[in-house]
Amino acid sequence: MPSNEQRRQAAKRKLERQMQRRAEQAKRRRVITIGATIVVVIAIVVGVFYFSRSDGESQPAAQQPPQPEVTIPTELAPPPARPAPLADPVSCTYRPDGQPSKPVQPPAGGEVSSKGTVQATIETNEGAIPLTLDRSLAPCTVNSFVHLAQQSFYDGTDCHRISTEGLQMLQCGDPTGQGTGGPGYAFDDETFPELQYGRGYLAMANSGPNTNGSQFFMVFGDAPLPPNYTVFGTIAPEGLKVVDDVARAGHDNAFASAGGGHPNKKVTFTKVTVQA
């Protein structure tokens, strides 16, 4: 009959064997887990390699669906006009609004004339776009545009958005090219309830009431908009031909929720000059 010491030794050996088996089982489980991870990683790498090769060599590059042909009206809209003239002069205020996207000083506030027009020209890589800025429509807006042009704020910037269906316009004036930039100041709308938009109009873009900055849009066709966007001038027919060519080239649909996208034919302002 085994003694107590023998029983203790036997129990110890049994425990050691159990611990060894458990350690080996745990080791096998760890190896399996790591092995499975390696298999998954290899599969991912192989898959990426395969699809990269397929996209780059065997399969044609993904293309956007063809856009419908752009239909552009040929007749200019009647020249915009206020139903009643503004006082002369008017008082303009330019409020701080974030950081400017490009170094620029805000215009001096105070009294501004609401009489007369200003001739301006946007020189672009696609051709010149002559403008007539009308103080009788929006004196504070014209004052801001002239001020920014004289400080070369618009030079070297790209038009970041074009819409060719429903609303037909080319939007420009943001040095960042993302649609979020501005001059670091804002000023009030200069709209009126009777305001309608049409081919040849130059108007301010905004992000809500009284948030005008540097971004503007050039209407080359239909524009069924509410009268919430300040019209401050018109585009010459030769300038509209430039915009029409850009519109016919289409866009990348990057702004699908808002309408339109980046122009497929890039438009860069090389120089904006005014004859104030």
pLDDT digits (tens, 9 = 90+) for 82-122: 999 999 999 999 999 999 999 999 999 999 999 999 999 99
Distance, CA of 222 to CA of 247 (rounded, Å): 13
pLDDT digits (tens, 9 = 90+) for 11-23: 656 656 655 555 4
pLDDT band at 154 (very low <50, low <70, confident <90, very high): very high
Query: 228 pLDDT exceeds 70?
Result: yes
pLDDT score, position 20: 58
Q: Chain-wide mean pLDDT for the chain?
A: 84
Cα dihedral 32, 33, 38, 39, rounded to 10, equals 70
pLDDT score, position 19: 55
Cα dihedral 115, 205, 195, 87, rounded to 10, equals -30
DSSP H or E stretch at residue 148: helix 139-150
pLDDT band at 258 (very low <50, low <70, confident <90, very high): confident
Query: 30 pLDDT exceeds 70?
Result: no
**What is the distance in angstroms between the CA of the first residue and the CA of the last residue of the chain?**
120
DSSP characters over 2-64: --HHHHHHHHHHHHHHHHHHHHHHHHHHHHHHHHHHHHHHHHHHHHHHHHHHIIIIISPPP-P
Please identify, in words, the CATH class of the domain defined by 90-275. mainly beta
| Residue 56 neighbours by CB under 8 Å, 6+ apart | none
- What's the rounded mean pLDDT across residues 46-61? 32
Q: Where are the domains of the chain?
A: 1-63, 90-275
